[in-house]
Chains A and B, each alone.
Chain A
Amino acid sequence: MTVKATSKLRRDNGLLLDIRNLKVQAVVYSPSEKPREVTIVDGVSLQLKRGKVLGLIGESGAGKSTVGLSPMGYGRGGVRITGGEVFLNGRDILKGGVRELRRVRGSEVCYVAQSAAAAFNPAHRLMEQVVEAALLHGVGTRAEAEKRAQALFTKLRLPDPKSIGCRYPHQVSGGQLQRVMTAMALCSEPDLIVFDEPTTALDVTTQIDVLAAIKDAIRDTGVAALYITHDLAVVAQVSDEIMVLRDGKMVEHGETRQIIEAPRMDYTKALVSVRSIEHEEKEPTPKPLLSVRNVTAAYGGGAVKVLQDVSVEVHPGQTLAVVGESGSGKSTLARVITGLLPPIAGNITFAGRPLAPKLPHRSKDDLRELQMIYQMADVAMNPRQTVRTIVGRPLEFYFGMRGRERDARVAELLDEIEMGKGFIDRYPAELSGGQKQRVCIARALAARPKLIICDEVTSALDPLVADGILKLLLRLQKIEDVALLFITHDLATVKAIADSIAVMYRGEVVRYGSKTQVLTPPFDAYTDLLLSSAPEMEVGWLEHAIHGRRMESAGN
């Protein structure tokens, strides 16, 4: 009772959260080295008024999640808050000890995790988990809490708000689960919610719904929020203020509009201007390099059709972007082209010759001229091989290069991907995310391919790094005259690099043509949904987009 009483008192001056000079450290134990302290967050201060939303933005490793968790007095994985003060409702929660923290967590501050699927206990029904914190902190009886939860489900526009609580986590979609988690956070009527990348794992078309639901819920309940994300366009929609973090230090802090429209620091400018790649669209040639004709493919011996009557063409030296949300069959298309999944109907022609449907029947030249780059660079490379072997193996395998000749060519390729000499003897674990993806690109280039399939190559990377990778791919395309088949769900990427676009929806190509054709109205319903769902760096875009939509998202 005392807690609630003090919080009532503080409600007047309006200041909810006051973090002063926060310092967070962790001890790193690397093998055969003395344990050493690293500073993750260094001297960050922030203030948050009631009902306001502060966006914390930065690349991975910037310390944004660590700052975000500090109002709960929580350090992830051995991380400790070693300095500074965190005032919540006017008292320093770091001074109160474990008992005090338990009273804060789940009642005054709640948390919404990035992966709702991993954050829910799969063995319990949703309702039990949603009302758990409210019951534990004695906010009300079970009946009251469940009533409030149902009201929140309605507010968050979940289907069937009366009975959805009886389902188990696996029985609802990813976007719905994320909204249930938001309901869970709101259920105990906290003063502050920490959103940790709540929409990052979702499709664009689903993201917009979740985003709108979260925004409405914040406005209606008057809760304050810390919104952590790496996507500036997303944070611009929901927050009142934005704080840019880098390497555990604050770079810039200001009103959302000021950060987006008139950033002061160079780093913020770089973040805002990301994806401003100039690419001139090329006309299709009379003779396509790869043509996929009426391909139908299925898993489970024809039981589940994942591709239906798909026809696309890739022209020499050009880029075809295949766009769609997860489950649209775009990665399956790559598997069919590479021969990993033989189609049940249709055929594929590559460089003027028919391509055998099954991988073992393809000639070495077919394999060499068709390379692939994966989404997850760290599992696409053998962790036990050095860069020398990873990039050198295709040279050995396809061209019979050995010894010094091979090493010279590897060095040349590393040069092409803008990585210096020091990298040849490194293992993948010794490279950063962007460097790993570059090495994968070098491995594909080593085979001197005519076509490279890029399967979501930038979606696991930070925006600035992804930008570098895209620019590199475009430059290499010019030098090596290689065609790219670019699979992605990110429309900003597509606009930046494509010559032609195929939009896929539920295993079918719904729109296909040159970039200008596809991106010029009139649109079909799905393309319209997809285009209008891609967040734009503009205040007020979200409301505008929600009103302008013609079709509900499928994964919703």
Chain B
Amino acid sequence: MLDIKRIPYGAWLGLILTGLLVICALFAPWIAPAGNGEIVGDVWEPMSSAHWLGTDNLGRDLLSRMIYGARTTIFIASLATALSFSLGAILGFLAAVAGGLVDTLMSRMADLLMAIPTLIFGLVVLSVLPSNNMTLILVMGVLSSTRVYRLSRAVAVDINAMDFVEAAKLRGESLRWIIFCEILPNALSPLVAELGLRFIFSVLFLSALSFLGLGVQPPEADWGGMVKENKDGIVFGIPAALIPAAAIAILSISVNLVADWVLTRTASLKGGRE
């Protein structure tokens, strides 16, 4: 099935980087040299053998914070993406297959949500709701599901008009079979491409929220929040803010490298074999 030798270099790079970050996230307490909130030295110490990446604005070990940050950032972003995808894709397919009033109602609802700028909408909702990771995931998931809904509905409308879907309907298949066994496998390619992008948007959205103080709450670490905490250092030539920013960029690129590879595999109509 999966031939390791045939994975392209780009995908390897993506897989290794994403894997490393995920391992950091999973085993943070064992990997990190210091605790999450532990103050180990002076403010903004430079890189040294004791503190590989230096210390942050409160004198905490930056490397440890980065590792703990990976945990929060990846956890929240992936759950939010998963939520937005299951919600958006299923509702989008349903709208396409059911058509008529159901389609109109759901599509206009999605339009309504999309009419309000996501960040502002998120800020308003989050400032009212209690700020914990759960609400964060829900708000992020629901808001970005409108984009997924749009895409999956558009893709599914095309597939729904194909003869094989009509054949399934004539056979008497249930809505569930039509959505999950006829339409979903054929809509996978554009959805996977979107998945990579959506995940990155989630990371960026979370970072933006944290930067604005409505995302992950201190003392918990997350990459966006860490950029914010250390941004004042840039004026004094201290690179502490750039390290989490670079981590966000690396995660974005490596996840998309993997998504691209999955995409070429799912796009094959011959089951990935030649």
- Contact surface of A with B, Cβ cutoff 8 Å: 30-33, 338-340, 359, 362, 364, 367-368, 371-372, 374, 376, 379-386, 393-394, 397, 427-430, 443, 447
Contacts and interface: CB of A to CB of B under 8 A. Distances in A.
B170 A367 contact: yes
A261 B274 CA distance: 44
A382 B164 contact: yes
A381 to B, nearest CB: 5
A367 B168 CA distance: 11
A32 B6 contact: yes
- Most central of B166, B172, B181, B186 by chain A CB within 10 Å: B172
B172 A397 contact: yes
A333 to B, nearest CB: 15
A364 B172 contact: yes
Contacts of B170: 338-340, 359, 367, 371-372
Interface in B212-258: none
B171 A393 contact: yes
B274 A32 contact: yes
A38 B194 CA distance: 36
A374 B169 contact: no
Contact of A397 (B163, B171, B182, B186): B171
In terms of DSSP, what is the predominant structure of the interface of chain B?
Answer: helix
B162 A386 contact: no
Contacts of A443: 167
A486 B172 CA distance: 22
B269 interface: yes
Contact of B164 (A31, A364, A381, A386): A381
26 contacts: A31-B264, A31-B274, A32-B6, A33-B274, A340-B170, A364-B172, A367-B171, A367-B172, A374-B163, A376-B163, A379-B162, A379-B163, A380-B167, A381-B164, A382-B164, A382-B182, A384-B185, A384-B188, A385-B181, A385-B185, A386-B271, A394-B171, A397-B171, A397-B172, A397-B173, A447-B171
Nearest to A374: B163
Contacts of B271: 386, 427
Interface of B: 6, 162-164, 166-167, 169-173, 181-182, 185-186, 188, 264, 268-271, 274
Contacts of A429: 269-270
Contacts of A380: 163-164, 167
Contacts of B162: 379
A350 to B, nearest CB: 14
Indicate the member of A339, A364, A382 with the most B CB atoms within 10 Å: A382
Contacts of B164: 379-382
Contact of B186 (A31, A359, A367, A382): A382
Contacts of A340: 166, 169-170
A359 B270 contact: no
A364 B268 CA distance: 34
Contacts of B186: 382-384
A359 B182 CA distance: 19
A364 B170 CA distance: 10
Contacts of A447: 171
Given A33-B274, A382-B182, A428 B167 contact: no
A133 B43 CA distance: 77
B171 A374 contact: no
Contacts of A385: 181, 185
Contacts of A430: 270
A323 to B, nearest CB: 22
Contacts of B264: 31
A447 B261 CA distance: 39
B274 A383 contact: no
A367 B182 CA distance: 19
A427 B269 contact: yes
B40 to A, nearest CB: 50
Nearest to A397: B171
A430 B270 CA distance: 7
B172 to A, nearest CB: 4
Nearest to B8: A32
A550 B163 CA distance: 39
A228 B230 CA distance: 73
Nearest to B166: A340
B185 to A, nearest CB: 4
A393 B173 CA distance: 10
B274 A30 contact: yes
Contacts of A381: 164
B237 to A, nearest CB: 48
A402 to B, nearest CB: 16
Nearest to B268: A31
A31 B173 CA distance: 35
B263 to A, nearest CB: 12
Contacts of B173: 397
A427 B267 CA distance: 13
Nearest to B185: A384
B36 to A, nearest CB: 44
A482 to B, nearest CB: 16
Q: Give the 3 A-B residue pairs with the shortest CB-CB distance, closest first.
A: A384-B185, A429-B269, A380-B163
Given A382-B182, A384-B185, A427-B269, A374 B274 contact: no
Contacts of A362: 172
Nearest to B183: A382
Contacts of A384: 185-186, 188, 269
A486 B270 CA distance: 32
A379 B164 CA distance: 6
B270 A427 contact: yes
Contacts of B188: 384
A276 to B, nearest CB: 31
Contacts of B166: 340
B145 to A, nearest CB: 24
A138 B216 CA distance: 73
Contacts of B169: 340, 359
Nearest to B163: A380
B183 to A, nearest CB: 9
Contacts of A427: 269-271
A452 to B, nearest CB: 12
Given A359-B170, A393-B171, A383 B163 contact: no
A385 B185 CA distance: 9
Given A379-B162, A393-B171, 17 more contacts: A30-B274, A31-B264, A32-B274, A33-B274, A340-B166, A359-B169, A359-B170, A362-B172, A367-B172, A372-B170, A379-B164, A380-B163, A382-B164, A382-B186, A384-B185, A394-B171, A443-B167
A209 B265 CA distance: 49
Contacts of B6: 32
B265 to A, nearest CB: 9
Nearest to B3: A32
Contacts of B274: 30-33
B7 to A, nearest CB: 10
A379 B158 CA distance: 12
